[in-house]
Each structure stands twice: as C-alpha cells, then as structure tokens.
C-alpha cells in the first residue's frame, strides 16, 4: 500500500475570519510573485539609470587617466638629457602614433552612451581610431614644426667673420664628397656683404674649395643668404640659399646655423674640436628650434695635415 502525500497543515484562521479557499491562496501567491518581479524590474531600471548617468564621469575619468599618462610621458621626454650625436630616439609623435588604438577602442567602447553604441559600428570605430588618430598626430607634429624658426637676437658680422670649423651637420648633398676637415671662412666686405670660402677634404685627402658671397636679408643681421653661382647668374630664382644664425656664443666661439625649413643644420666652432658639454648645449639650442638632431653627422677634423 503506497503512502499518501500529505500537505502541511494550514494555519488556522483567527476567530471570526473565514479562511480563504485554496484557489484564493494560489491567486494571492501569484499576485505576490508578479509584484516582486515588478519591484525587481523597477530596481534594475533605477540601477541602469544611475550607471548611465555616471558613464560620462567614468569616461572623463578614463580620459583623464590616459591624458595624464601621455602628458607625463611628454614631460619626461622634455626633461630627458640631450641625446649624443649618432644615437636615435623616437619622438613624441612617433610613440603616440604607434599605440594600439584599435585595442584601446575596446576600452572606450563600453564608456560610450547607449544611443551612440546603437548607431555606430564597433569595427568602424576601431578602424577610425587605428588610422585617423595617428594621422591626426602626424598633422599635429607638422603644425608644431610650422612654428617659425627664431634667429640670434644680435649678430655682429665683424665678430662673426673669420674661420669656422664644422663640428656636425645634417646630411647634405652638396657636402656628400666631403670626408673631413670641413671649414667655412667669412670675410666682411664693403656694403655689409661677406666673402664665403667653403673647403673640405674628399675621401682621397684632396682639398676641395668653393667660393661664394653672403648678404643679410629682411634687415636682420642673423638672417643671411649665400650664393655660389657666378655673379652674372645671381639674379636667377633659387640662386640664393638661406643661411640663418640660430645661436652664437657670447664670445663667438661656437654657433648654430640652419635653414628655416629645418632641413639643414650646422654646428660650428672656432677650433677643430669641441668639448662634449659645449656640444650638448648647442644640441639643446637646435632641438628647441625643432631640428632633428638625431640625424646629425659628426665631421672629422684634423685627419690630414693643413696645406
């Protein structure tokens, strides 16, 4: 004989109250469950609303953290010691452009408002961040370099005249045959012009020499032009090339010369050799003007006996 299942005894109703039927009890339980589900939905809606309201703050916080890391990196880079000639370092724009922006989009995507996420394609966002951001940084770097080059505030051509030894230079096709002992000699002429004599020794040790003339431009002594074409052809466009003195030591023992497009740069000295401390100081002047000093070539001096 099988055992019969027995329901637990219901509590007795208080005196004077008619107990509810089983159907009424079931209906009351279902209503209670429905009410509980409604409360849970309302609570979830409130939590979602609070999270949505805090998303901009979270996004701003994440952006502040990322911006702080970038600014700290840039600040540390500006405070880093001068890089010796011949070494290479990546600039701020290069390391920013090399960041994995496509992966960073996965971090930024959950912080975007729901309406934006519903309308945008995450793959499209990742593609834009991987391509548009580095391009924008490259454009920013170009805009930074568009800042005009400033020259030495005062330049006494009488003191600047004389013989200068080239300590280092950016690669230049006109000096591709020069292997060592590069010098420039300036002689002040009447009317404020300079006679220019550039000399060097080629790979065979032979002395090569080119003569030209220099003049001031724009009414400023530190902004010069040089020309090495014959006198009859000096009126041609492009015959004169810019020669700007960016810095000169107070005693005129060293100078930094460059072109306004930052493509050419020379570090000059009155002596064939320069101490490292003075060289680093000249590099700082050039780097502050936006010149790429990592590409500088050291010029050997004194390899051959002077003629």
User: CA dihedral defined by 61, 66, 69, 71, rounded to 10 degrees?
Assistant: -100
Residue 35: per-residue pLDDT:
78
The topology (CATH level 3) of 157-298 is Lipocalin (2.40.128)
More confident residue, 217 or 86: 217
Residue 11: per-residue pLDDT:
52
pLDDT value at 196 more than 90: yes
The token duo for 42 is 């309302």
Kindly report which listed range (19-28, 139-148, 189-198, 288-297) carries the lowest average pLDDT score. 139-148
DSSP conformational letter for 221: E
pLDDT value at 117 more than 50: yes
Distance (Å, rounded) from C-alpha 25 to C-alpha 197? 112
Q: Which residue has the tokens 């680093």?
A: 280
- Rounded mean pLDDT, 200-207: 91
pLDDT (tens digit, 9 = 90+) per residue, 86-95?
333 344 444 4
DSSP conformational letter for 59: H
The token duo for 152 is 């030495």
Q: Where are the domains of the chain?
A: 53-145, 157-298
Cβ pair 192, 215 in contact under 8 A: yes
Residue 176: per-residue pLDDT:
83
pLDDT value at 102 more than 60: no
Per-residue confidence at 201, pLDDT binned at 50, 70, 90?
very high
Strand pairing category for 207-217 and 194-201: antiparallel
> Which run of H or of E encompasses 139?
helix 122-145
Cβ pair 26, 32 in contact under 8 A: no
Strand pairing category for 241-248 and 254-258: antiparallel
Cβ pair 297, 200 in contact under 8 A: no
Residue 85: per-residue pLDDT:
38
- Rounded mean pLDDT, 137-166: 80
Q: Is 304 exposed, middle or buried (0-12, 13-18, 19+ CB in 10 A)?
A: middle
Q: How many CB atoms lie within 10 A of CB 269?
A: 21
pTM of this structure: 0.54
Averaged pLDDT score across all residues of the chain: 75
Distance (Å, rounded) from C-alpha 245 to C-alpha 222? 5
What is residue 201's three-state secondary structure?
strand
More confident residue, 119 or 307: 119
- Rounded mean pLDDT, 88-108: 51
Residue 18: per-residue pLDDT:
53
Q: 2-11: which pairs have CB atoms within 8 A and are 24 or more residues apart?
A: none
């Amino acid at each position: 004989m099988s055992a019969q299942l027995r329901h637990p005894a219901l509590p007795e109703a208080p005196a004077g109250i008619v107990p509810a039927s089983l159907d009424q009890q079931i209906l009351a339980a279902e209503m209670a469950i429905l009410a509980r589900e409604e409360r849970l939905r309302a609570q979830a809606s409130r939590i979602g609303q609070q999270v949505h309201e805090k998303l901009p703050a979270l996004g701003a916080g994440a952006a502040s953290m990322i911006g702080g890391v970038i600014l700290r990196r840039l600040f540390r880079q500006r405070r880093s010691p001068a890089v010796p000639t011949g070494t290479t370092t990546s600039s701020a724009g290069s390391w920013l452009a090399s960041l994995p922006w496509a992966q960073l989009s996965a971090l930024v995507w959950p912080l975007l408002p729901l309406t934006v996420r519903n309308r945008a394609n995450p793959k499209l966002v990742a593609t834009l961040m991987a391509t548009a951001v580095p391009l924008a940084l490259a454009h920013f770097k170009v805009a930074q370099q568009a800042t005009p080059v400033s020259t030495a505030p005062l330049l006494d051509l009488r003191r600047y005249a004389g013989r200068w030894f080239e300590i280092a230079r950016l690669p230049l096709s006109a000096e591709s045959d020069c292997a060592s002992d590069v010098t420039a000699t300036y002689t002040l002429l009447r009317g404020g012009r300079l006679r220019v004599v550039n000399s060097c020794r080629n790979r065979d040790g032979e002395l090569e020499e080119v003569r030209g003339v220099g003049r001031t431009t724009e009414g400023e002594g530190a902004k010069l032009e040089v020309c090495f074409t014959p006198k009859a052809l000096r009126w041609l466009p492009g015959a004169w090339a810019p020669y700007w003195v960016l810095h000169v030591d107070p005693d005129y023992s060293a100078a930094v010369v460059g072109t306004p497009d930052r493509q050419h740069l020379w570090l000059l000295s009155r002596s064939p050799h320069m101490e490292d401390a003075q060289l680093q100081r000249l590099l700082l002047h050039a780097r502050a003007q936006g010149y790429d000093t990592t590409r500088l070539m050291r010029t050997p001096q004194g390899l051959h006996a002077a003629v």
